[in-house]
Amino acid sequence: MRSVSLRPMVEELTAPEVARRLRGEGAPVLLLDVREPFEREFARIEPSIHIPMQEVPSRLGEIGRDRQVVVYCHSGGRSAMVAGFLENHGFAGAANLVGGIDAWSRQVDPAVPRYG
C-alpha cells in the first residue's frame, strides 16, 4: 500500500533562486519570515516581513497578494506548512524557501548568522 501525504505540495525555491528574484531577476516576490521573534532578532533575510507561524491565520490581511509569497523559517519545515496554508487560502503560487535561512546563510549570504 502506498502512503499518502497529507501536506499539500507547494512550490519549492532554492536560496539562490530567491536571491535572484529579490534582485529583480524574474517575477517579484514577497519574503515572509514565519519564525519566532527571538529567531528573527538573531538572523534575518531582508527585505522580508515577519509574522510568526501561529499568527499567520489572524494576520492574512498583512500579506500582499500582488506578488508571489515565498515563506521561510530556520530549515524549511514550518515554512512549507505555512506556504500550503497560504495556497489553501487563495495565495496562488505560495512557495517555500528550501532549507530556510540556514540554506540562505550557506548558499547566498555567509554574513547571516547560522544557528541551530
- Decide if pLDDT at 5 tops 60: no
Band of pLDDT at residue 36, cut at 50, 70 and 90: very high
Residues 53-77 have pLDDT tens digits of 999 999 999 999 999 999 999 999 9
Q: Could you tell me the pLDDT band of residue 9, with boundaries at 50, 70 and 90?
A: confident
In a domain, 4, yes or no: no
* Cβ-based neighbour number of residue 83 at 10 Å: 30
Q: Using one digit for the tens of pLDDT, what is the confidence trace for 78-113?
A: 999 999 999 999 998 899 999 999 999 999 999 999
Residue 100 lies in a domain: yes
Cα gap 7→106, rounded to integer Å: 27
pLDDT above 60 (res 7): no
The residue type of 38 is: F
Catalytic residue of the set 30, 56, 73, 98: 73
Q: What is the CATH number of the domain that holds 69?
A: 3.40.250.10
Contacts of 111 (CB under 8 A, 6+ apart): none
pLDDT of residue 3 exceeding 80, the answer is: no
Check if the beta carbon of residue 72 is closer than 8 Å to that of residue 95. Answer: no
- Domain that residue 16 falls in: 11-107
Domain count, the chain: 1
Q: Is 113 a catalytic residue?
A: no
20 belongs to a structural domain: yes
